Amino acid sequence: EAGVVQSPRYKIIEKKQPVAFWCNPISGHNTLYWYRQNLGQGPELLIRYENEEAVDDSQLPKDRFSAERLKGVDSTLKIQPAELGDSAVYLCASSTRDIPRGNTIYFGEGSWLTVV
Amino acid sequence: KQEVTQIPAALSVPEGENLVLNCSFTDSAIYNLQWFRQDPGKGLTSLLLIQSSQREQTSGRLNASLDKSSGRSTLYIAASQPGDSATYLCAVNAGGTSYGKLTFGQGTILTVHP
């Protein structure tokens, strides 16, 4: 079974440029998350989707970050314009509450962003 | 606000040793706790999940325990191997309206040398 798939794996951009990350969750997982991980830190939640609905976006910097999950499957996270402090790993994750895998959150490999 | 602390920050052991990684959290009203492994340049791999009603979970050489009332969890690794070298993260899921909002510790960097 395929895991959470993210692209691109690595991205280097100049500040003020836009960038977008794509995520395909595990098949059948209705909950999708975007987390950000700074170097040497644990990940922090940016946004959580239940199907198409963003149910928790309280930590998403809405002035420059946006996300969408059309049709309740794939998701895109966009940053425009990027700032130097946005350099981090952007992790997508998914989960389902269906037994027997209920509640375990599975992460992708991450998209590593460097803003120069 | 939930805070998660992991001790030690780094650990270096010879191959074959049994070891314990510690995780503590400040708010005992949790839904579940999950242990992850992260290799350099990689994402997070789920190791074990313990529901708030459970005391422990086991998978192969790994055993995770949970004492919710004292705000502690431990990850026990038996007969460590060089391939176990990675960063280990624990994360608390608050549940309810904050379901899925994992609060992570900063991790324990484990090195197992031959």
Of B32, B97, B105, the CB nearest to A42: B105
Start-to-end CA span in chain A (Å) = 37
Residue of chain B whose alpha carbon sits nearest to that of A109: B43
pLDDT over 70 for what percent of chain B?
100
State which H helix or E strand residue A65 sits in: strand A65-68
Query: Among B2, B30, B31, which residue's Cα sits nearest to residue B104?
Result: B2
pLDDT over 70 for what percent of chain A?
95
Report yes or no: A57 and B114 within 8 Å, Cβ to Cβ: no
The residue behind tokens 């529901």 is: B51
Show which of residues 73-102 on chain B sit within 8 Å of chain A, judged by CB atoms. 89, 91, 93, 97-102
In this structure, the number of other CB atoms found within 10 A of the CB of residue B81 comes to: 12
Judging contacts by C-beta atoms under 8 Å, the chain B residues touching residue A33 are 100
CA distance B86 to A77: 28
Q: Give the pLDDT mean for A17-25.
A: 97
The pLDDT score that the predictor gives to residue A100 is 56
Paired tokens of A63: 């002035």
pLDDT band for A2, please (50, 70, 90 cuts): confident
The answer to which of A12-26, A41-55, A73-87, A97-111 has the lowest mean pLDDT is A97-111
Hey, is B101 helix, strand or coil?
A: strand
Report yes or no: B106 and A101 within 8 Å, Cβ to Cβ: no
Does A104 contact B91 at a Cβ distance shorter than 8 Å? no
Residue of chain B whose alpha carbon sits nearest to that of A55: B97
b vs e for A37-57, b when ≥16 Cβ sit within 10 Å of the residue's Cβ? Answer: beeeebbbbbbbbeeeeeebb
Is A35 a residue whose pLDDT tops 90?
Answer: yes
The pLDDT score that the predictor gives to residue B41 is 86
Does A104 contact B101 at a Cβ distance shorter than 8 Å? no
The pLDDT score that the predictor gives to residue A99 is 58
Write out the DSSP string of B17-63: --EEEEEEES----SEEEEEEE-TTS-EEEEEEEETT-SEEEETTEE
pLDDT in tens, B61-90: 999 999 999 999 999 999 999 999 999 999
Which of the pair, A39 or B74, is modelled with greater confidence? B74
Does B43 contact A91 at a Cβ distance shorter than 8 Å? yes
Judging contacts by C-beta atoms under 8 Å, the chain A residues touching residue B33 are none
pLDDT in tens, B10-56: 999 999 999 999 999 999 999 999 999 999 988 999 999 999 999 99
